[in-house]
Amino acid sequence: MSNTVSFSKQGAIGLIKVNNPPVNALNQSVRAGLKTCVEQGLADDGVKAMVLICEGRTFIAGADINEFAKGMGEPGLVPVIGNMETAAKPIVAAIHGTALGGGLEVALGCHYRVALSSAKVGLPEVHLGLLPGAGGTQRLPRLVGAQAALELIVGGGHVPAAKALELGIVDEIVDGDLEAAAIAYAEKLLADGSGPRAIRDIAPEAAGSEVFDNFEKSIARKQRGFLAPFHIIKSIRAAFELPFDKGMAREEELFMELMRSSESASQRHIFFAEREVAKVPGLAKDTVKREINCGAVVGAGTMGGGIAMNFANAGIPVKLLEMKQEFLDKGIALIRKNYENTAKKGRISMADVEKRMALIEPTLSYDDIKDVDIVIEAVFENMDVKKEVFKKLDSVCRSGAILASNTSTLDVDEIANVTSRPQDVIGMHFFSPANVMRLLENVRGELTADDVIATVMSFSKRIGKIGAMVGVCDGFVGNRMLHQRTRESAYLVEEGASPEQVDKILFDFGFPMGAFTMADMAGLDVGYKVREERRKAGKVEKRDSVWIDKIVELGRHGQKTNAGVYKYEDGRTPIPDPIVKALIAECAKEAGIAQRDISDQEILERCLYPMINEGALILEEGIAARPLDIDIIWINGYGFPGYKGGPMFWADQIGLQNIVDAYAKYAKQFGDHYWQPAPLLAKLAKEGKGFYDL
């Protein structure tokens, strides 16, 4: 008998109990235990029906994905479920918590399913770059039909018990004692003469090929580059076109293709990295956190308003401070508009809108924020302005309050040093739109206290963000690496590539948009001001490309002015502009640069390899503790394609020596100022290692 699955009897009902905390994952021990217990129940003449139930806080919540790397071991899940489904005695699955992935597949292998009203079910394998590999794509469609199965499995979401009942995934919702209710349900089956009922024997409702073709078209752009969604469609289609056993064979074939793919390896890497990133190396696990029961945001602009919404969304009261009533009114109005738009889409109710708005208290006085637990400054990205704000916060905020800056590039230590409590100061770099973007790049200063670090990382999760802790440097991790791509993109265009060629290469690589489309959307004037500040601070590039500055000086600020690097006749679609082409050619001529045809491969290498090299420097300097911190920042903040796993993971996949070789090639062509490989990159390449071998 397995030590994670037990068998007992209550009258004529055999009780199979899984106890594999914390989430009853389907490891080898559980699979073996299920097989043994089902066989024991079938062999006992006194057992007429069985109930499968789990101890702890949840039903089986999925596979043990750690086994993917080390091997699954026997018995496999498919034959275990097959033995349950073909059993001669009825088996009832009793679901509480979540029945996810392999857990739901086990439940579908049972003949009946009952669930608590609080339970949820789902097949989320798509998020790991996989498909349900134990019959999920063959059994679920037989219960819910083609369209619903496509939406549920490709979407990978969780289905509440009430919806699962409506769809036919569960047979009954029960309340109170789940074990007693499931046993009673099994006893009623026996009393009614209801025997086993295998889903495999259900003939699926007819579905024409257009159902699958149309669904594939509907997800084509959003799921661009991912393999799993399209393999799932093929596998579900097999449920309608092939007999059950052949459909299962097709599912296995497609599952194994995904398991061997770089896309799934990347997505599984991200899955683990997103859990690991919350653990800050060197920070004691038992660090006591400060309480955050209320907060404040300084600045009611687009960013400040979005940050305030994060507090309200989490049910935390927040004060929104501005210097002028008109700015405050405008900020509050925008927040309300955002919430009401969300309500119109059905994601929240109008009651939720009012509840959240009530948690945001507008104010014009610093005195009103003196007692809050955390203040996040979100004013203009200018060091002098931020210093003034922090001097004021230092004078009014209570002792122990956390003082955070939303700066995206500025020195957090310099900001902290204008206060009498640098230990309480930290960077919290939100990404725009702040109420939507998942990433929160938290920046520890030289003197930031450990309990502040622990509190902010915990708070990040509380407000629905993925927090990554980094150190102080120009641009931190994300913008520092982005600067390399931005610089090379501008150089490439000056040398003869067109903006649309550069953008297409980045889009085809997997970014949601190219460098220049993104710059136009963000506002070219924003980058212009950043470059002005950098030049004032003496941060001058060896080669200064000025063509984008000249575009801004023509009054072309991007989408908001219907003209930037591109022109926008509908305010949204970028159109190459001959005016810009001529301006670029003129700037190149003035700089003595002979324009030439540039290959797509050169564009890819020059845009992405300098980012990798900068990431290596960031690791060497300890700005990021691990390559996974960099990958999570770029996946969640900058649109790096998830199916490539982040820049550092991708670099390992393509081989670091290839990057070093390209650097040598470009050093010969352009000089080694920008083409000197980081010592860490060169060392790892020479040793035949990758960043994840550190």
Q: Over the stretch 149-181, which tens digit does the pLDDT of each residue have?
A: 999 999 999 999 999 999 999 999 999 999 999
Note the Cα 562 to chain centre separation in Å: 32
d(CA 650, CA 271): 15
What domains, with CATH codes, occur in the chain? 5-259 (3.90.226.10), 295-470 (3.40.50.720), 478-622+655-693 (1.10.1040.50)
The terminus-to-terminus CA distance of the chain in angstroms comes to 41
- Residue 403 main-chain phi, psi, to 5 deg: -110, 110
Point out the catalytic residue in the list 105, 377, 441, 488.
Answer: 105
Asked if residues 467 and 277 have their Cβ atoms less than 8 Å apart, the reply is yes
Mean pLDDT of 212-234: 96
The continuous run of DSSP H or E covering 5 comes out as strand 5-10
Asked if residues 33 and 4 have their Cβ atoms less than 8 Å apart, the reply is yes
pLDDT exceeds 60 at position 448? yes
Residue 536: pLDDT band (50, 70, 90) is: confident
Closest to 254 (Cα-Cα) out of 272, 271, 229 = 229
Q: Lowest-confidence range among 334-338, 378-382, 623-627?
A: 378-382
Tens of pLDDT, residues 11-31: 999 999 999 999 999 999 999
Three-state secondary-structure class, residue 564: coil
Point out the catalytic residue in the list 125, 322, 494, 602.
Answer: 125
For residue 614, give Cα distances in angstroms to 475, 627, 650.
12, 12, 14
Tens of pLDDT, residues 265-317: 999 999 999 999 999 999 999 999 999 999 999 999 999 999 999 999 999 99
The per-residue pLDDT for 72 is 74
Average pLDDT, the chain: 95
Which residues make Cβ contacts (< 8 Å) with residue 363, sequence separation at least 6?
Answer: 319, 320, 321, 322, 328, 369
DSSP state of 58: -
Per the structure block, which two tokens stand in for 544? 């200064």
d(CA 224, CA 301): 33
| Number of residues that this document lists for the chain | 694
The per-residue pLDDT for 253 is 98
DSSP state of 369: G
Tens of pLDDT, residues 449-497: 999 999 999 999 999 999 999 999 988 999 999 999 999 999 999 999 9
Residue 392: pLDDT band (50, 70, 90) is: very high
pLDDT exceeds 90 at position 343? yes
Tens of pLDDT, residues 93-107: 999 999 999 999 999
Angle at 77 between CA 156 and CA 108, to 5 degrees: 55
Closest to 548 (Cα-Cα) out of 521, 516, 571 = 516
For residue 25, give Cα distances in angstroms to 19, 50, 56.
9, 21, 12
Q: Is 217 exposed, middle or buried (0-12, 13-18, 19+ CB in 10 A)?
A: exposed
The per-residue pLDDT for 529 is 83
pLDDT exceeds 70 at position 1? no
Residues 289, 292, 293, 298, Cα dihedral to 10°:
170
Tens of pLDDT, residues 258-267: 999 999 999 9
Asked if residues 336 and 305 have their Cβ atoms less than 8 Å apart, the reply is no
Q: Is 105 a catalytic residue?
A: yes
Residue 531: pLDDT band (50, 70, 90) is: confident
Q: Is 276 a catalytic residue?
A: no
The per-residue pLDDT for 445 is 97
Tens of pLDDT, residues 575-613: 999 999 999 999 999 999 999 999 999 999 999 999 999
Annotate 371-389 with b (16+ C-beta within 10 A) or e (fewer).
ebbbbbbbbebebeebbeb
Three-state secondary-structure class, residue 166: helix
